[in-house]
Amino acid sequence: MKKTPILIIAGEPRSIFFEIYFKSIKKKKYKSPLILICSKEKLKFEMKRNKFKKEINQIDLGLIKTAKLSNDKVNLIDINQYSYRLNKKQYIEKCFEIALKLIKNKFSYKLINGPIDKSSFLDKKYLGVTEYISQKCKQKKTGMLIYNQKLSVCPVTTHLPLKLVAKKISKKTITEKILLVNNFFINNFGFKPKIAVTGLNPHCETILKFDEDKKIILPAIKLMKKKNINVSGPFSADTVFSKKNRKIYDVIIGMYHDQVLTPLKTLFEFNAINITMGLPFFRVTPDHGPNQKMIGKNLSSPESLIQALNFLDKK
């Protein structure tokens, strides 16, 4: 049976993506055809810098459905064919535009994007690339899942300044994330996950009159329990990642980004991937940034990208 191609946006022009991509395809052969979406000029430069030798199979976008795809070559959609003299922001936007159009036209349902410097790419109305793609696809109920087979995490708020977190969490946003996680695991892994939810405040306590843990988080958990979802909490964030709890729970939902991503990355380092839940296709990214300080040093780990490719290769 012919496998659906994996569309791969190279992302940030100045990043370690090409290095880890070349390492990833050297280490393993994938059943799904891999199609890079980037500048051919940039690809050739990075192949030379990383001493990576493979023929480039340039694909005509208008004839892509009949194109011969082989992972023995580097399958490429050259952005410079369709737009010229692009600045970085326009360049990345064009990559996403082409990828999302191919997905809309049912050519693929698998997308990886390389790391992106959000500060120079996104407008202030987008907190991150997850929100950017969600809006482009007109999907309001999406969420970030940092996935590892042993333990995954989901932040209720993503790249939000810490002083705004308490204002943004609500019973609605928490129940939406619990439902997203529960449905994603049922639909993609075939089982109902055991979910732990953290509190907002240290030890789930506060000296203030309004207690978010009791007034917002606990009622949200009770409501989900009534819907027969296997969820517990709120738990203090400083103990929920204990060895005992990691054996009990499949997913930990936290109130903000660093509350759950910091311990997960400490535990698993690059052995995790970022999945956007709630989209009508799979969008997966390596769980790290552009890491510009490491460009050209040949020291970056491809582990997270390999996990992303493995995940989509099975779909």
CATH of the domain at 151: 3.40.718.10
Statement to judge: residues 233 and 301 lie in one domain: no
Q: pTM to 2 decimals?
A: 0.93
Which residues does 64 contact at the CB level (< 8 Å), separation at least 6? Answer: 77, 102, 107
Statement to judge: residues 151 and 59 lie in one domain: no
The pLDDT tens digits along the chain (315 residues) read 579 999 999 998 889 999 999 999 998 899 999 999 999 999 999 999 999 999 999 999 999 999 999 999 999 999 986 554 568 888 999 999 999 999 999 999 999 999 998 877 877 778 889 999 999 999 999 999 999 999 999 999 999 999 999 999 999 999 999 999 999 999 999 999 999 999 999 999 999 899 999 999 999 999 999 999 999 999 999 999 999 999 999 999 999 999 999 999 999 998 999 999 999 999 999 988 888 888 888 889 999 999 999 999 999
Statement to judge: residues 266 and 296 lie in one domain: no
Statement to judge: residues 33 and 127 lie in one domain: yes
Statement to judge: residues 40 and 118 lie in one domain: yes
Statement to judge: residues 9 and 131 lie in one domain: yes
What is the count of structural domains for the chain?
Answer: 2
Statement to judge: residues 206 and 248 lie in one domain: yes
Statement to judge: residues 134 and 108 lie in one domain: yes
Q: What domain range includes position 296?
A: 1-139+279-315
Statement to judge: residues 13 and 119 lie in one domain: yes
Statement to judge: residues 33 and 162 lie in one domain: no
Statement to judge: residues 168 and 219 lie in one domain: yes
Beta strands 231-235; 74-78: pairing state? unpaired
Statement to judge: residues 110 and 162 lie in one domain: no
Amino acid at 281: F
Burial of 243 from C-beta contacts in 10 A (0-12 / 13-18 / 19+): exposed
Q: Tokens 């946003």 label which residue?
A: 173
